[in-house]
Structure 1
Amino acid sequence: MEPARELTKTLLNNTKNPKLAWQIFKRIASNPQFPSDSFNKSLPVVTRILIGAKMFTEINNLQQLILQSHTSDHTLLLLMRVLAQLGHVNLAVSQLQAFRSHHPDKPISISLYNLLIRFSIRDNHPDCVRVLYEDMVVCRVPFETYTFNLLIGGLCDSGCLEDARKVFDKMRERGCVPNEFSFGILVRGYCRAGRAGEGLELLEVMRSMGVGSNIVVYNTLVSAFCKEGKTNEAEKVVEMLREDGLVPNVVTFNSRISGLCGSGKVLEASRIFRDMQVDNELGLPQPDMITYNLMLDGFCKEGMMEEAKTLIETMKETGVGLKVESYNIWLSGLVRNGMLLEAQGVLNEMAEKGVQPTIVSYNILMNGLCKNGMLRDAKTVMSLMKNGGVTPDVVSYSILLHGYCKKGMISEANKHLNIMIANGCFPNNYTCNSLLESLWKEGKVLEAEELLKKMKERGYALNMVTYNIVIDGLCKLGQVDKAVETMHDLWDQEDTDGNDNNSCKPDLITYSTIINTLCKDGKLDEAKKKFIEMIGRNVYPDSVIYDIFVSNLCKKGKVSSAFRVLKEMEKKGYNKSLQTYNSLILGLGMKSQFFEMYGLMNEMRERGIAPNVSTYNNMIRCLCESGGQTDDATKLLDEMLDKGVSPNISTFKLLIRPLCQIGEFRPAQEVFNISLSIFGHKETLYSFMFNELVAGDELLEAKDVFMSALDRCFFGIANFSYQDFINRLCKAEMLECATEVVKKMVKKRYAFEPASFMPVIDGLRMTGNNRNADEFAELMLEMGSEVKVSNQVTKVYKRRKVVNNDESNWRNVLHRDDGSGATLKILNKIQKGWGYERILLNMQSPKYV
């Protein structure tokens, strides 16, 4: 057996005993008779063993061994290569520096520098790149164009375009001529940074220098200009491409189509696509599968589903065929546009056409179903997946688990988590974080803490997302002190570890959550302390943090303090946002500083910030509540409608109530009618208007609204103050109206509180209408027998909800002793066994005694 193979085999046999492996290698390799090629072949093996055992001192000794026994530059290069490939490029560079300190005059080949620069860029070690570059300059190592290309590419990938351009400009100083790759790398860097114009200037420099043409550079610029929406510039680049003797290929056209679709210009992209299909005489390339998929994705993302469907049919007819990638794009588009039944049909079609759905196909459909609350269908898709021989992955299980969490079905989510683990698919951080967040939302603190404990036990690398969920949950449960303690524990751990790259450092979200909670609790001084602590920890505030202070100060009437925060905010370079303006307008309005409030709205418009519905609602609320200026508030509603700002239901409620309170019922009715024209006949609008009219004693108008609501057959009338309304009608001697209302409620089969009959029955008795009073009394008993059979509320009529679950009113009716003849008559009939034994038995139960 040759020496290299024998030594390598011996080293591998002693991998678990690295010290022995090192001693063996050192003894054999130190022999001057040991061949250099054998040394080089066994060097990677021993290096891996030493790195695996973290024997870094021996690594230094290995370098000395190389220099003493095998002075070949190739051997040294090999050691550096192995170290860099194993992810220890910083160690390789330090080895190079150590070698330099002992052998300053010994030349090192450019290939070693190129290798180390490449791996330093790959592993994101910019400091190593800087050290290598400076060492090359000091040692006067002759640069290669390839070296510069590596440096330019690394700087571009790091976003240091200015530095990349400086390196590019220095190439000639170092005796290197930029080639087409040099230009291409820098052009791509400009394009990725959204600076395609500078990339075009560089292309013109490239052409003027006579550097060989490269169609990739042109295609990169075409795509970039299309993404920026600069189609004219993209066309100019295509013309330049033709001028240089190049022919636009399918990649060129795909770049244009991709860029146009990405910027939402799908119709323009479709025109180019159509030209590719029909203009053969122009020599345009035919669309390939990528072209079709780009157009399909563009149509789907813009909701142009008819066009997408036509394209699908074209693909089937032209023989292009639908691959699984095309089906997945089509599935994703259908799901995104809510066409879930069609999406399920596509999955079936794939099976019929012999196209095997991938895990991505199933996950797309499951995700759409879960987002729409169709969990049962999502489970069915998972069953189909398993039956089709596709094993659900962590994404599949996470989608379903997140769906359960979203609907608050925590127990089901837990069961699903156990099934997931039992099937050998262990949850990731996203899965656990979804469940953890839901547990906190449901207030299940013990379960949340238990899950967190299990995550730690199972070795999950808890990230800041996890801890932010915990801190947010504690804040929402009113345990802000515990949230602060948790944050401080994280800082203590950071300080102990001394690791600046720790992913569990409290961040801006952490501080925003705690500061917001402290402000809401009125603990402004503590919030300020946390703000100062945040800056001291090098977590710098953004406009959101300042908005939190401004908003809470304004809500507490401390407008002057809010403006001081605002001044500090603008001093730090943050401009007022829409949220800032809304908070300040509310604060000024609460102080009745209406002139300043309107001034802020004008300032918003001047700065190009359009007022939204919250802006107008804040102004309307303040004008009505603080100043009683309902006319001005109504004008703001007109302004909203004129400017295309859609009001919400709260907008109309803010106007209707103050108008009714000052007796302006006709304008209130007009506002109500406008709300119906915008939102349709919503129960919440009818109930609100009715209740305000009743409170204002506008009984006839209230009757019209209520009767109209009954005709609309809303699901329930629990939000209508109908009992108070009927009482008021009877007291106002409007007995006929009250009777009509009650009859309509019965006719429309609404289940309501039977006690509502009593004012009408009493009124009928007092006017001598005993027959009608008896009829109402019997109807009241009938409803009572149906409604009060058990502790649970039952439905009296189909599709109608019982108004009230409270039995106290019904008991009060049966135990009334106010001299009412109707009441005595009802009690007498019950005692005679009037066919309502269930009521009598129920009233004798212990809870009534």
Structure 2
Amino acid sequence: MSSSPSAANLLALLRRNAASPAIALRLFLHLSSAACPPPPRSTSFLARLVAAHPAADALLPRLHRHILSFPDPSPHLLALLSCSDVLPLRLAIPAFRSLRALASAPPPPTPVYNRLILAALRESRLDLVEALYKDLLLAGAQPDVFTRNLLLQALCDAGRMELAQRVFDAMPARNEFSFGILARGYCRAGGSIDALKVLDGMPSMNLVVCNTVVAGFCKEGLVEEAERLVERMRVQGLAPNVVTFNARISALCKAGRVLDAYRIFKDMQEDWQHGLPRPDQVTFDVMLSGFCDAGFVDEAQVLVDIMRCGGFLRRVQSYNRWLSGLVRNGRVGEAQELLREMAHEGIQPNSYTYNIIVSGLCKEGKAFDARRVENFIRSGVMSPDVVTYTSLLHAYCSKGNIAAANRILDEMAQKGCAPNSFTYNVLLQSLWRAGRTTEVERLLERMSEKGYSLDTAGCNIIIDGLCRNSKLDVATGIVDGMWEEGSTALGRLGNSFLSVVSDSSISQRCLPDRITYSILISALCKEGRFDEAKKKLLEMIAKDISPDSVIYDTFIHGYCKHGRTSLAIKVLRDMEKKGCNPNTRTYNLLIRGFEEKHKSDEIMKLMSEMKEKGISPNVMTYNSLIKSFCERGMVNKAMPLLDEMLENELVPNITSFDLLIKAFCKITDFPSVQMVFDAALRTCGQKEVLYCLMCTELSTYGKWIEAKNVLEMALEMRVSIQSFLYKQIISGLCEVGEVDHAHSLLKLLIAKRHLFDPAAFMPVIDALGDRGKKQDVDMLSAKMMEMADRNDGLGTDSGRITPGSCKHEHERNGESDWRTLLHRDDSAHTIMKITKRVRTGWGQRGNVYEHKQQRGDDFYVLENTG
């Protein structure tokens, strides 16, 4: 190397210009040449400077070309590759290829391969990992433990566990990372038992690997195995730490076993003095997400209060978890209050925070909410991004408000927030499903102007819209055409579709994917065109698109809907042969098919098969069996299924109890009805639908006093009773001579300040009148007329109660039963007198029974007063 001053001082000059990588590169190009090559150290230093520059993609190739002009570029290429930890792979690989192309250069050393393989792993280029490893062997370099660990990692990431195991077995030397990589790979692939074997093969237990296997067991629902491993850790002196517990809690929550996770969390809170780790920030956040995802909002609220007191609610990420949980469970108002609390606590919301709120408001589907979101955006409280605007766009599209949606697109353009393909797809889907082809064409024109083209997702939206609008043959033709023409196959729908397709080459061509075939096969099965659907299934397999469980489930659902359960079973067996594992949804579809045929024995067989295969039945599975038993009059076989559900840690839902209550009522076993109802209230809470169901069923079978007791209980519990058929209960009580019960129910309704149909008073007034209880009749009549005045002009549904605090429902259709009273033949002596009093002024002519002998005059008054 020349000892010229420029070469000797080059590194110092580069360091002085480190703040300007582009200037440093120019100095390097100017002061170094083939005649005077720089030291490799300066090449390495400059490469790191340039790699951090925004224009690295343009600068680094210049450096690469300059290096190749040196008489011996190999040391400089090696210096460049030593920066693989910061160089993008697309820039490092050309330098590697140049080095390998030099005939005179020795093979790169193993560390160079290791850096490149690690970079390929970071960018998920698993194909490149394999290619580099093969090249290393061909070059005669010796892979070390680190190299083999990287290859092992790549194989595990690709799910190629059999090959990963072979590589692991062939490794001449292993370290703890080798065991950890393979164990984690097995756990990710759902093979925690195999991961345990890897752990057993370690010279000594490792806490990180143990935690990995524990989490794997929990994720697969193998709680007992996880507990045994934790106990084994304790015995061997390896104390489970908070990471161990967090792994268990996280995995259980993700598997839907939130109650199991909470038991562990509670132990951490209460038994820390016995050596258990205390919950940390991660523990609280994971448990909070678990509660929210499972819909346990009240439990989550208690946890949030604990976090607030303990100082664990101080991060925006924790607030976002709680906000997301509130929004997903329909409690948007509380979410907005929480947003204000964040401001008060000095927690700065981020864009994700606001997008949670915006998405929640928009998903409520109320126009005023969407407008409120717009005002929220324009207030400057937040800086909207493309996600914010897309959520708002979706809200307007779901309501068919295309003008507002277009306004949002215009505002995005004004704010410099460019729509992405997903934004346009949201609008396209709404318009196309609604059959609004004119607006679709305008949107396509707008997309074309902005330089967007239809991708496979956009084509799928068009195909789905055609299927939904009974144009299945057209959709099939387009899918067939996409294989040859790509998205240009949409051109047969009109020239406007041609303006947003760009299939000028095969590489750009958008081809049908699994979703495309799912849409088409589903539509064919719905119409009973199974032969065509099967042809499409074979076609997608021939095109190397493997069907998933959703597509097989589509066939099963279609066959069951058409009563062809034997063929549905054949599909189940076929999917198992093809290596596509059925899941709970698959079996539920089959079970529902047998449920409609009242074949509970077949359902029992399928449930046994599920258990043998380790597929957990859910509440829907049990409800199908309960329904089948109940419809066959075998309610005594259905009842034990509630206990079985609880033993399997499944909480029966309202449908479970609805089926049993109706079944027991049908066989007039009312003590059992009461027992099931009590269990329903304990399990599901004080739900309006349960009280309403019980009242309706008891009324249907003439159990009027029992129905009245349930209604009174609902009133005392302050349950909303708008859907209750209270008039039938009052009338029924009067018909069986239980006037006092009917009277007391009326008084309770009045005392609770409910507005209801005044016609409900009449059976009680008539019955009390027949008993000569004039004072009670007068009081009820006065109350009835007062309520009639308040309800004037308001149509109330028959048998419905409106709480007095609620706004009057002007939009209800149909006349009140109050108005039909004018045409009644029975008790006309009472109602005519009341009507006459309304016309002359209440209280001017004594009580309603003052002129009993003037019944004929009352009819005359009615006929002559309109």
TM over 0.5: yes
The answer on whether the counterparts of 1:751 and 1:802 sit within 8 Å (CA) in structure 2 is: no
- After TM superposition, give the deviation of residue 45 of structure 1 in Å: 8.9
> Within 5 A, what are the aligned runs for 1:363-374?
363=320, 366=323
- In structure 2, distance between residues paired with 1:761 and 1:41: 101
The answer on whether the counterparts of 1:578 and 1:611 sit within 8 Å (CA) in structure 2 is: yes
% same residue: 26
> Within 5 A, what are the aligned runs for 1:578-589?
578-589=584-595
The aligned counterpart of 1:93 is 93
Runs of 5+ in structure 1 lacking a partner? 173-177, 205-214, 241-247, 267-296, 838-847
The aligned counterpart of 1:496 is 503
- After TM superposition, give the deviation of residue 672 of structure 1 in Å: 1.9
- In structure 1, distance between residues paired with 2:620 and 2:280: 48
The answer on whether the counterparts of 1:84 and 1:119 sit within 8 Å (CA) in structure 2 is: yes
- In structure 2, distance between residues paired with 1:10 and 1:648: 72
The answer on whether the counterparts of 1:369 and 1:377 sit within 8 Å (CA) in structure 2 is: yes
Q: Does 2:235 correspond to 1:258?
A: no
- After TM superposition, give the deviation of residue 107 of structure 1 in Å: 1.8
- In structure 1, distance between residues paired with 2:596 and 2:280: 62
- After TM superposition, give the deviation of residue 784 of structure 1 in Å: 1.0
* Amino acid corresponding to residue 565 of structure 2 in structure 1: V
The aligned counterpart of 2:820 is 812
- After TM superposition, give the deviation of residue 780 of structure 1 in Å: 2.8
- After TM superposition, give the deviation of residue 394 of structure 1 in Å: 1.9
> Within 5 A, what are the aligned runs for 1:571-610?
571-574=577-580, 577-591=583-597, 596=602, 599-600=605-606, 603=609
The answer on whether the counterparts of 1:783 and 1:796 sit within 8 Å (CA) in structure 2 is: no
- In structure 2, distance between residues paired with 1:510 and 1:836: 77
- 2:263 aligned to 269, 288, 302, which one? 302
Number of aligned pairs?
748
Q: Does 2:126 correspond to 1:119?
A: no
Structure 1 pair 428–198 and aligned structure 2 pair: CA distance change class (3 A): farther
* Amino acid corresponding to residue 391 of structure 1 in structure 2: Q
Structure 1 pair 771–621 and aligned structure 2 pair: CA distance change class (3 A): same
> Within 5 A, what are the aligned runs for 1:70-109?
70-71=71-72, 73-81=74-82, 85-89=86-90, 92-98=92-98, 100-101=100-101, 103-109=102-108
- In structure 2, distance between residues paired with 1:815 and 1:31: 112
The aligned counterpart of 2:677 is 676
The answer on whether the counterparts of 2:560 and 2:568 sit within 8 Å (CA) in structure 1 is: yes
- 2:757 aligned to 729, 753, 758, which one? 753
> Within 5 A, what are the aligned runs for 1:428-827?
458-459=417-418, 462=421, 482=462, 484=464, 492=487, 496=503, 535=541, 538-574=544-580, 577-591=583-597, 596=602, 599-600=605-606, 603=609, 613-619=619-625, 621-622=627-628, 629-630=632-633, 632-638=634-640, 640-641=642-643, 644=646, 648-654=653-659, 657=662, 664=667, 666-667=668-669, 669-680=670-681, 684-685=689-690, 687-692=692-697, 694-695=699-700, 698=702, 701-710=703-712, 712-713=714-715, 715=719, 718-724=722-728, 736-737=737-738, 741-742=742-743, 744-749=745-750, 751-758=755-762, 777-788=781-792, 807-814=815-822, 820-827=828-835
- In structure 2, distance between residues paired with 1:831 and 1:758: 19
Structure 1 pair 759–417 and aligned structure 2 pair: CA distance change class (3 A): closer
The aligned counterpart of 1:832 is 840
Structure 1 pair 154–533 and aligned structure 2 pair: CA distance change class (3 A): closer
Which has the higher mean CA deviation after the structures are superposed, 219-228 or 669-678? 219-228
The aligned counterpart of 1:192 is 184
The answer on whether the counterparts of 1:777 and 1:826 sit within 8 Å (CA) in structure 2 is: yes
The answer on whether the counterparts of 1:570 and 1:576 sit within 8 Å (CA) in structure 2 is: yes
Q: Secondary structure at the match of 1:191?
A: helix
- In structure 2, distance between residues paired with 1:191 and 1:26: 50
- After TM superposition, give the deviation of residue 611 of structure 1 in Å: 5.8
The answer on whether the counterparts of 1:36 and 1:70 sit within 8 Å (CA) in structure 2 is: no
Structure 1 pair 623–470 and aligned structure 2 pair: CA distance change class (3 A): farther
Structure 1 pair 500–727 and aligned structure 2 pair: CA distance change class (3 A): farther
Q: Secondary structure at the match of 2:571?
A: helix
Structure 1 pair 494–820 and aligned structure 2 pair: CA distance change class (3 A): same
The aligned counterpart of 1:290 is none
* Amino acid corresponding to residue 404 of structure 1 in structure 2: L
Q: For 1:789-812, what per-residue CA distance to the aligned partner results, in whole angstroms no more than 9, with x for missing partners?
A: 768999998679999965442233
Q: Does 2:354 correspond to 1:397?
A: yes
- In structure 1, distance between residues paired with 2:656 and 2:302: 37
- After TM superposition, give the deviation of residue 829 of structure 1 in Å: 2.0
The answer on whether the counterparts of 1:710 and 1:745 sit within 8 Å (CA) in structure 2 is: no
- In structure 2, distance between residues paired with 1:359 and 1:729: 58
- In structure 2, distance between residues paired with 1:692 and 1:719: 14
- In structure 1, distance between residues paired with 2:816 and 2:232: 82
Query: For the aligned residues, what is the CA RMSD?
Result: 6.0
TM-score by length of 2: 0.66
The aligned counterpart of 1:243 is none
Structure 1 pair 357–162 and aligned structure 2 pair: CA distance change class (3 A): same
The answer on whether the counterparts of 1:785 and 1:836 sit within 8 Å (CA) in structure 2 is: no
The answer on whether the counterparts of 2:245 and 2:264 sit within 8 Å (CA) in structure 1 is: no
* Amino acid corresponding to residue 269 of structure 2 in structure 1: A
Q: For 1:797-833, what per-residue CA distance to the aligned partner results, in whole angstroms no more than 9, with x for missing partners?
A: 8679999965442233346689933343233322322
The answer on whether the counterparts of 1:676 and 1:682 sit within 8 Å (CA) in structure 2 is: no
- In structure 1, distance between residues paired with 2:57 and 2:589: 58
The aligned counterpart of 1:279 is none
- In structure 1, distance between residues paired with 2:767 and 2:779: 13
- In structure 1, distance between residues paired with 2:325 and 2:318: 11
The aligned counterpart of 2:35 is 32
- In structure 1, distance between residues paired with 2:328 and 2:531: 42
The answer on whether the counterparts of 1:765 and 1:773 sit within 8 Å (CA) in structure 2 is: yes
TM-score by length of 1: 0.67
The answer on whether the counterparts of 2:249 and 2:264 sit within 8 Å (CA) in structure 1 is: no
- After TM superposition, give the deviation of residue 600 of structure 1 in Å: 4.4
Q: Secondary structure at the match of 1:400?
A: helix
- After TM superposition, give the deviation of residue 133 of structure 1 in Å: 3.7
Q: For 1:415-434, what per-residue CA distance to the aligned partner results, in whole angstroms no more than 9, with x for missing partners?
A: 45765687586556765666
Greater Cα radius of gyration, structure 1 or 2: 1
- After TM superposition, give the deviation of residue 748 of structure 1 in Å: 3.9
- In structure 1, distance between residues paired with 2:244 and 2:137: 42
* Amino acid corresponding to residue 784 of structure 2 in structure 1: M
* Amino acid corresponding to residue 248 of structure 2 in structure 1: S
Q: For 1:149-189, what per-residue CA distance to the aligned partner results, in whole angstroms no more than 9, with x for missing partners?
A: 654555556555665565567676xxxxx4xxx42331221
The answer on whether the counterparts of 1:118 and 1:150 sit within 8 Å (CA) in structure 2 is: yes
Structure 1 pair 183–132 and aligned structure 2 pair: CA distance change class (3 A): same
Q: Does 2:316 correspond to 1:359?
A: yes
Q: Secondary structure at the match of 1:263?
A: helix
The answer on whether the counterparts of 2:40 and 2:79 sit within 8 Å (CA) in structure 1 is: no
- After TM superposition, give the deviation of residue 445 of structure 1 in Å: 6.4
The answer on whether the counterparts of 1:370 and 1:403 sit within 8 Å (CA) in structure 2 is: yes
Q: For 1:167-223, what per-residue CA distance to the aligned partner results, in whole angstroms no more than 9, with x for missing partners?
A: 567676xxxxx4xxx42331221232344555456544xxxxxxxxxx9x8444454
Which has the higher mean CA deviation after the structures are superposed, 226-235 or 634-643? 226-235
Runs of 5+ in structure 2 lacking a partner? 188-193, 218-224, 252-257, 438-459, 467-474, 488-499, 846-864
